[in-house]
A and B are shown apart, each in its own frame.
Chain A
């Protein structure tokens, strides 16, 4: 590698470097903080992300390949990075008070979130199965630790342990698939792989490799049959981390899935049948199991499984519209899901956990404004217009029908009718029950700002989707 190429590579990956450097500086600074100076951590972390976002925007002009083809800075990556920035910044804002209440506001918390962010960014930019692996592991290890951050709570410990074990196994499977691919093609670079394999796409070795890679990646987005960890981890983890995981790492997983599955190598191997089956089963399981949940976080866990299933339908559709529909879906999902998690996080105050759905009975009576926001997020998650959630689903359906998958589209909408039931059940609890308790949400200005921002996104993208749609369509790789 020449000095010029190295310089160019460093430049292309400057946002990642900014985030990692920022995380390291904060790690050191955090040791010198005195009590009562925690707000500094929040603002410093937000500043790091904003600088990274600024740098990303500066570099967003042209496609840059870096590190001898392991890394790419293209519009696709930029789009996903902004979804990650959004998720991370909002998580920071929501964490400030929550961390104080739960007693987890040490500098490590923020540093680990930043490092997870950098892992996700690497995933979005990776064009080599090995750099994918590096990103996935960086992200995953940080989230393992964050899941167990409530050290005194058994649930949290259990969740972290489960997550580590299952996560490691899935990464192992993924790596095994990568090694098979390397054995068959002599390369791990996505572009080069496709060029090498020109023969029979049904080569059993290749098929095995594909299945392993699919399994490893599908684990990260929590799709069936690798979804077992999701409810336990979502329930046990600190709620802010659950909010973060349901949006950030999931979007990162999809970024990789899109890059890998829509690579010519996989596109020719009939892998879409596997993916279609995964989509249907994932959505069905998420929707039906969510019907019987009493715990808000578990319900949102199954809801996130169902949403992952819907987004996978977009992967099945493929093509420009298919890819763009997944991207738009994830962006919109970030807004509405962080919104509803923002409410759950805010409710955690004093002895009130805010985790049981029944505890929200009559919420609309005492806090009509907040209840209205919940209503907005929930109907958006259910996909009722004019919210953004509807447009997200609509665009995926358009992509499906465009490719002739009408039956899949029908299955998708019928399952989303099932899913609508458990969202409107929560609306029922907050609007149609009499209050049994007084509510004292930890409504700090930061939480307020987060809720306002997500609400504007949820309704704004729903009413004026044109700009966001164009953005997603322009950000599709190769297009």
Chain B
């Protein structure tokens, strides 16, 4: 066991949060939080630099006994799939701090502490190699997120926070029972790798598949358990929305990748049609709902449901293009939707309205803002040259190969996406300058630019040269697919 790099990455934000507790001035708190998150990102980059893309094996493994009597270990490690999300989480971390710089003006210290704790827990989820440890991270996230939405949110924050908390809790609890059942069927261990190697009877796999499905579907969220998402997104402060859209939603899909597919391959193959149908439903239904919104944040929130439908569609296409596309699309969605929420937050700080009807002609008042907004809107539409194009293309080609109807429905969803996104851009940025007459809108400043630029870089980088990212995923995705088909097609 070498240098515990992953532990360092996971617990740096916690240490930072502890330091914040002793600071008094708001500015000191902000700068320290920014420093900690940038340090964490640097550690992540160091990790990626020495990451071996040629193997599917877990890397940077750390393992210590935690509760030996129950076979619980403190085990961390990452493969190509989790590496990407560890990076995404660290990337969005400091952007969240920047996004809350001016927007959060009361209880700054408490907010930043929640944010940092949240980041540590999210990183922990992606690094955990022990199911119990995973669950602890997974469930503990509820506490800071509940506070972030409930304390610093908008008008209906209390309701939204409750809904978020109870939905996710109820979903996760069945997951917990599933974990314990798996523990006894899998030789009394919580080691994820050891459990992956088990062959469970189909009956057990089916039950577990649905127990896991509830937990992951709530997080993704898939229709029909998506109703917490619009409330939570709309009421959360900007940083909360970025975390929710950027990382939290990915955890459900990550759960499918890490648990459902490799541990329950037969059930995954057996129920893949159901999952494809639910994904296609989410794509179209989310798109239609987004089309009907006037509230900017709600629109982006519903578009998330639609976009996450692409992700689950790709995953359950159960072929290489679909899977790699789905994973890449998770990353892309984190970047693009994170950016869109950031943009909504920026404009809301200036005008205090999110109703599209009140906007118009923003291009004249804030040309830089609208130019970048255009980039991210086009990225969300999956225009060639942007990141989502690569991801969605792979997903669609995988989807068509798996199921013609699902693929066709997804294309329809992509079309809907163009409709509501372009419509949104037209109402906000183009036309007569209605909002500028009432508010003096300043363009983005340097701090905001610092938050926007890295996201823009990734939009174009993945769009124009996706190879480095696909390389990270490749070996692990192939291995995962092999696991599924070796065991799953036996029946």
Contact = CB atoms under 8 A, between A and B. Distances in A.
Interface in B137-151: 139-140, 142-143, 146-147, 150-151
B162 interface: yes
B158 interface: yes
A417 interface: yes
Contact of B67 (A365, A420, A421, A469): A469
B173 A428 contact: no
Given A368-B110, A385-B135, A397 B170 contact: no
A417 B169 contact: yes
Interface stretch (B50-58, B92-100, B180-188, B251-259): B180-188
B357 interface: no
A473 interface: yes
Contact of A409 (B69, B169, B170, B180): B180
Contacts of A397: 176-177, 180
B166 A409 contact: no
A384 B139 contact: yes
A170 to B, nearest CB: 34
A151 interface: no
Contact of A384 (B70, B142, B177, B180): B142
Contacts of A406: 177, 181
Contact of B173 (A365, A402, A413): A413
Contact of A401 (B69, B146, B184): B184
B490 interface: no
B283 to A, nearest CB: 30
B165 interface: yes
B150 A432 contact: yes
Interface in B201-250: none
A445 to B, nearest CB: 22
A410 interface: yes
A431 B150 CA distance: 8
| A interface secondary structure, majority | helix
A414 interface: yes
Contact of B181 (A375, A379, A395, A401): A401
Interface in A389-417: 390, 394-395, 397-398, 401-402, 406, 409-410, 413-414, 416-417
B136 interface: yes
Interface size range on A against B: 35 or more
A466 interface: yes
A390 B151 contact: no
B68 interface: yes
A321 to B, nearest CB: 9
Contact of B165 (A385, A414, A424): A424
B161 interface: yes
A465 B67 contact: yes
Contact of A414 (B146, B170, B180, B184): B170
A368 B108 CA distance: 13
A379 B143 contact: yes
B418 interface: no
Given A390-B139, A466-B66, A398 B150 contact: no
A414 B165 CA distance: 14
B58 to A, nearest CB: 23
Contacts of B321: none
Given A386-B140, A401-B180, A428 B69 contact: no
A431 B151 contact: yes
| B interface secondary structure, majority | helix
A279 interface: no
Nearest to A371: B110
A425 B159 CA distance: 11
B177 A417 contact: no
B157 interface: yes
A466 B166 contact: no
A427 interface: yes
B177 A470 contact: no
A77 B174 CA distance: 35
B158 to A, nearest CB: 5
B296 to A, nearest CB: 24
Interface string B438-470: 000000000000000000000000000000000
Interface in A352-375: 364-365, 368, 375
Contacts of A394: 132, 176, 180
A455 to B, nearest CB: 14
A77 B65 CA distance: 29
Nearest to A415: B173
Interface string A255-275: 000000000000000000000
Interface string B377-413: 0000000000000000000000000000000000000
A414 B166 CA distance: 11
Interface in B97-142: 107, 110, 132, 135-136, 139-140, 142
A432 B157 CA distance: 9
Nearest to A464: B66
Contacts of B174: 410, 413
Given A420-B165, A431-B151, 9 more contacts: A384-B169, A390-B136, A397-B180, A398-B183, A401-B177, A401-B180, A401-B183, A466-B67, A469-B70
21 contacts: A375-B143, A384-B142, A386-B136, A386-B140, A394-B180, A398-B70, A401-B183, A401-B184, A402-B184, A406-B177, A406-B181, A409-B180, A410-B177, A413-B174, A413-B176, A416-B173, A417-B166, A425-B162, A427-B146, A431-B147, A466-B68
Interface of A: 364-365, 368, 375, 379, 384-386, 390, 394-395, 397-398, 401-402, 406, 409-410, 413-414, 416-417, 420-421, 424-425, 427-428, 431-432, 465-466, 469-470, 473
| Top 7 A-B pairs, shortest CB-CB distance | A413-B173, A385-B136, A401-B180, A466-B67, A417-B170, A385-B140, A385-B139
